[in-house]
A and B are shown apart, each in its own frame.
Chain A
């Protein structure tokens, strides 16, 4: 379609009114899609036409809202399918392993906030926890036991901190991958078996998700320590971690405020997010206590204890005290 500027302007105005025949409309649609300057002009005209609609208000018939919502709920949006726990863990092992492969020698000595260790110490801690996890899963007979999460294996960590050899990364990765391979081959307990991990009890699948979460968090700790940009997991991985984290909120809330949570909604926006109803009356929307909305990655950072509730960008409709309580307990598994 060859048009001089005046002809184009005439057609764009008619396009904005929807007053072109189908052939011309298709041609202008293609032009708008391919030429940003034409698109700017076209959408400005479209906004003007839409402004005219201010005078065309007509309340919809009673009951239409209910029909639309019922139909919408019958067609839920296709969201990222959550990764299987073993795949999720394997992805985080790969991501951390690749990060460690690219560290410079000096990077290993950088302080790894919020811990007292340097990066080497943090990776040694991860190695200890891999050994502990293998013991919990019955994959290693002599894994470390007792002590708290951060205190566990203190002597071993101290040894690694003083050892400048690069074998620490290999040792950690070998141990982590061995756990994944063993579980994939059917060793260890069934996925729904309850196992004790520190003071908590998780299903095996839950434990794998917690470990994946920990690995992502510590990888980001190392990225911060070495001035690298933070990393966002795949949407399917985020979905698995965020969904698991939200699912633990009723249990965690029961520990601090029994009977406080009846009907709340948590909306985690962004790829890998989702909408979650919590509480024993969670489907009774008209009496919703709270709708808490935040970005899925930000929420995961909160769960990991890397963002404080007062620093989290969120909106809450309803019970603000309940929102603060949920955000407080959300990081209960963070270490």
Chain B
């Protein structure tokens, strides 16, 4: 699909959107709320269209690339001074994550179940640190303040939690899953 996008095939872009639109919009909704998520979703797909060479399959599949780009754009917005205040009210205005569409398939539902399982099996302090960084988009310094823990300890919790998640998700073949390019 990337090879097709590189030569201006908009139907390839549409196919990528059909496959990963819910993911990109979902990540953006989680981090920014429903108000800004469509804008970020549009930015991410147009960025892929205009600079497909920025996708390096050696670093992971398209799914990973889009998720990372989305998260990066969201965090940039989230941390900008003008957005800081909005963040406080984000939880109140956000809507719950929608159940995956039928075309996201049972595989996606099973994967989501395994992700939740893996998160639930983390030690409490690691899970809390991961959730604050991952779901709330906090820096590790902000996580440290929120948890009342030293920054060094917080970084270690993130590292240990991520390593454990990596092992668990890899055992379910979920790292890089659904990543055809």
Contacts and interface: CB of A to CB of B under 8 A. Distances in A.
Question: Is the pairing of A and B real?
Answer: yes
Interface in A112-169: none
A68 B45 contact: yes
B125 to A, nearest CB: 14
A163 B25 CA distance: 72
Interface stretch (A84-92, A96-104, A197-205, A267-275): A267-275
A17 B9 CA distance: 32
A54 B138 contact: no
Contact of A56 (B30, B49, B169): B30
Q: Binding site of A, secondary structure by majority: helix, strand, loop or mixed?
A: helix
Contact of B13 (A10, A46, A69): A69
A273 B52 CA distance: 15
A59 B21 contact: yes
Contacts of B174: 51, 54
Contacts of A10: 152, 155-156, 158-159
Contacts of A291: 11
Given A69-B10, A72-B49, A275-B9, A14 B30 contact: no
Interface string B137-181: 111110100000000100110110111011001100011110000
A65 B14 contact: yes
Contact of B68 (A12, A50, A60, A270): A50
Contact of B49 (A22, A49, A55, A75): A75
B162 A20 contact: no
A246 to B, nearest CB: 12
B22 A60 contact: yes
B165 A275 contact: no
Query: Chain B contact residues (Cβ within 8 angstroms of A): what range?
Result: 35 or more
Contacts of A268: 7
Contact of A267 (B4, B23, B99, B170): B4
B97 A56 contact: yes
A53 interface: yes
A64 B41 contact: yes
A45 B13 CA distance: 27
A16 interface: yes
Given A14-B158, A72-B49, A275-B7, A53 B27 contact: yes
A33 to B, nearest CB: 11
B7 A18 contact: no
Given A44-B166, A69-B14, A55 B116 contact: yes
Contacts of B91: none
A79 B45 contact: no
Contact of B162 (A39, A48, A68, A79): A48
B124 interface: no
Contacts of B14: 65, 69
Contacts of B156: 10
Contacts of A255: none
Interface in B28-44: 29-30, 37-38, 41-42
A13 B11 contact: no
Contacts of B108: 54, 57
Nearest to B44: A68
Interface of A: 9-14, 16-22, 39, 43-61, 64-65, 67-69, 71-73, 75-77, 79, 265, 267-270, 273-275, 285, 288, 291, 293
23 contacts: A9-B159, A10-B152, A13-B158, A39-B59, A45-B162, A48-B175, A49-B134, A51-B176, A52-B134, A52-B169, A56-B23, A57-B26, A58-B22, A58-B37, A59-B101, A60-B24, A60-B37, A68-B45, A73-B10, A77-B5, A77-B8, A77-B49, A273-B7
Nearest 9 CB-CB pairs, A to B?
A: A13-B159, A10-B155, A56-B26, A58-B26, A50-B67, A269-B3, A50-B64, A48-B166, A60-B25
Interface of B: 3-14, 17-18, 21-27, 29-30, 37-38, 41-42, 45-46, 49-50, 52, 59-60, 63-64, 67-68, 71-72, 75, 79, 97-101, 104, 108, 111-112, 114-116, 119, 130, 133-134, 137-141, 143, 152, 155-156, 158-159, 161-163, 165-166, 169-170, 174-177
